[in-house]
């Protein structure tokens, strides 16, 4: 398959536009989409592996961004939990020091509606696009190979939160993962730190509220005995 038109070692500018271009290629190239994986309502369906085949050396950041975008939208359910598992797998691989992402065959062949995802991308772009305008290479140690291992380990926390099917557990952590992913793509350590901080603070808030709620329930039950 034709690789993405990028130059090795150079930051990818406009990651959401880059993803839009990839989705456009997939929609226009029926030979990359299973003929049976189409229907009248959703149009052609592409495989996650089709996207991976078009990525450059920033593959971890781009795939994480691709998976995180549906999680950034409020009142979207099921899809965030579906993408959380490959997000955890990718973050774990970063933490393990892999230079390129690997997905099990089942996830590699997982299909999605190109048309529906382009709609999600369009809705998400207004939240992510303004971040891209401020992105530039800085704090390079954070996005180096060794720094990326720590980033991957830390991304496991917000990704695990997205996996929990409860209200409030996916939107803000998803935004955090998306911003951190943009930082990885653009080699911007400031964005990586910002994204991780957003995800961690929200998860900490949810944990605090959960413990407080558990304490209140425990006190109420104790009073009833």
Name the more confident of 212 and 31.
Answer: 212
Radius of gyration of the chain (CA): 18
Q: Does residue 193 surpass a pLDDT of 90?
A: yes
What's the pLDDT at 4?
41
**Is 9 a domain residue?**
no
Structural domain boundaries, residue 188: 15-224
Tell me which range, 21-30, 137-146, 173-182, is most confidently predicted by mean pLDDT: 173-182
**Is 10 a domain residue?**
no
Name the more confident of 111 and 179.
Answer: 179
Range 81-87 average pLDDT:
83
CB of 161 closer than 8 Å to CB of 170: yes
115-169 pLDDT, tens digit each:
777 777 777 666 666 777 777 888 888 888 888 899 999 999 998 888 887 777 7
**Is 3 a domain residue?**
no
pTM summary value: 0.67
**Is 40 a domain residue?**
yes
Q: Name 134's Cβ contacts closer than 8 Å, sequence gap at least 6.
A: none
What's the pLDDT at 121?
74
Tell me which range, 4-8, 87-91, 97-101, is most confidently predicted by mean pLDDT: 87-91
**Is 1 a domain residue?**
no
Name the more confident of 149 and 105.
Answer: 149
**Is 185 a domain residue?**
yes
Name the more confident of 172 and 102.
Answer: 172
Q: Name 56's Cβ contacts closer than 8 Å, sequence gap at least 6.
A: 3, 4, 6, 8, 12, 62
What's the pLDDT at 36?
41
**Is 5 a domain residue?**
no
What's the pLDDT at 153?
92
Pick from 107, 81, 94, 121: nearest CA to 184: 94
What's the pLDDT at 71?
83
Q: Does residue 19 surpass a pLDDT of 50?
A: yes
What's the pLDDT at 176?
92
Give the mean pLDDT of the chain: 75
**Is 111 a domain residue?**
yes
**Alpha helical stretches, state H, 97-188:** 105-108, 114-134, 145-163, 171-186
Residue 45: phi and psi, rounded to 5, are -115, 130
Domain count, the chain: 1
């Amino acid at each position: 398959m034709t690789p993405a038109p990028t130059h090795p070692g150079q930051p990818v500018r406009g990651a959401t536009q880059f993803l839009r271009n990839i989705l456009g290629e997939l929609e226009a190239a029926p030979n990359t989409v299973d003929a049976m994986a189409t229907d009248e309502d959703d149009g052609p369906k592409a495989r996650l592996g089709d996207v991976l085949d078009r990525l450059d050396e920033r593959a971890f950041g781009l795939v994480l961004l691709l998976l995180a975008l549906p999680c950034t939208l409020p009142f979207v359910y099921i899809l965030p939990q579906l993408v959380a598992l490959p997000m955890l797998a990718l973050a774990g691989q970063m933490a393990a020091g892999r230079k390129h992402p690997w997905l099990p065959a089942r996830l590699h062949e997982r299909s999605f509606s190109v048309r529906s995802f382009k709609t999600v991308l369009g809705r998400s772009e207004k939240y992510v696009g303004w971040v891209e305008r401020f992105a530039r290479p800085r704090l390079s140690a954070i996005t180096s190979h060794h720094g990326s291992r720590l980033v991957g380990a830390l991304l496991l926390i917000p990704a695990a939160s997205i996996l929990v099917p409860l209200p409030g557990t996916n939107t803000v952590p998803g935004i955090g993962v998306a911003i951190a992913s943009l930082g990885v793509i653009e080699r911007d350590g400031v964005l990586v730190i910002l994204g991780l901080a957003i995800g961690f603070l929200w998860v900490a808030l949810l944990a605090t509220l959960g413990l407080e709620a558990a304490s209140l329930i425990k006190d109420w039950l104790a009073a009833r005995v």
